[in-house]
Chains A and B, each alone.
Chain A
Amino acid sequence: NAGVTQTPKFRILKIGQSMTLQCTQDMNHNYMYWYRQDPGMGLKLIYYSVGAGITDKGEVPNGYNVSRSTTEDFPLRLELAAPSQTSVYFCASSHGPLYEQYFGPGTRLTVT
């Protein structure tokens, strides 16, 4: 199993550009999550999904959108990138709410 994979690893965006961060898991997990980690801080939940077709907002959803058309994939869309979205983004998945969350390697995004 590859676990949770994320692409790209690094990206630089100009203000106002858009992009999609990809996340795929091969563990057949129903639950998937997107977090962001700002410098020197812990992770904050952006969006999560409890299954295909079901998504919900986390703590810091503004400026982001998600979709979940399959169990495996949970892309995160940034529209109109802003410098405040400069961060490291982590995708995670779990078998259920009481189970361990497995994290991907992260995407470092810089918006200038």
Chain B
Amino acid sequence: AQTVTQSQPEMSVQEAETVTLSCTYDTSESDYYLFWYKQPPSRQMILVIRQEAYKQQNATENRFSVNFQKAAKSFSLKISDSQLGDAAMYFCAYRSSGAQKLVFGQGTRLTINP
């Protein structure tokens, strides 16, 4: 079974600085997708970024980028120029290409200090 591990329960960063959230996963499959979801206090789950495993290029979305290391099974999220609105729980998630379900990590609570 696939597992996703986020080893940082909490992280904090000063506003305007850069922070990296870690995620590792375990799978024997070669074709899969990885995601970072943001969950603000409103509880709404919001997709931040996705990465297809077959793509070597790291995904970017504005201030959000990933460092995808397929051999190491690592998928970290970098947030540049942190803003107060980035404060939330961040979940890393995995889905194999043929499966329906997302497998989530335990989450990292990100605090932005003004």
Measured CB to CB, the residues of A under 8 A from B are 31, 33, 40-45, 48, 50, 56, 58-59, 88, 90, 92, 97-98, 100-101, 103, 105-106
Contact = CB atoms under 8 A, between A and B. Distances in A.
Contacts, number: 50
A105 B40 CA distance: 11
Between B46, B93, B100, the greatest number of chain A beta carbons within 10 A of the residue's beta carbon is seen for B100
Chain B at the A interface: SS class: loop
8 contacts: A40-B106, A42-B104, A42-B107, A90-B45, A97-B98, A101-B47, A105-B44, A106-B44
Contacts of A58: 100-101
A68 B71 CA distance: 40
B107 A45 contact: no
B42 interface: yes
Given A41-B106, A41-B107, A42-B106, A106 B43 contact: yes
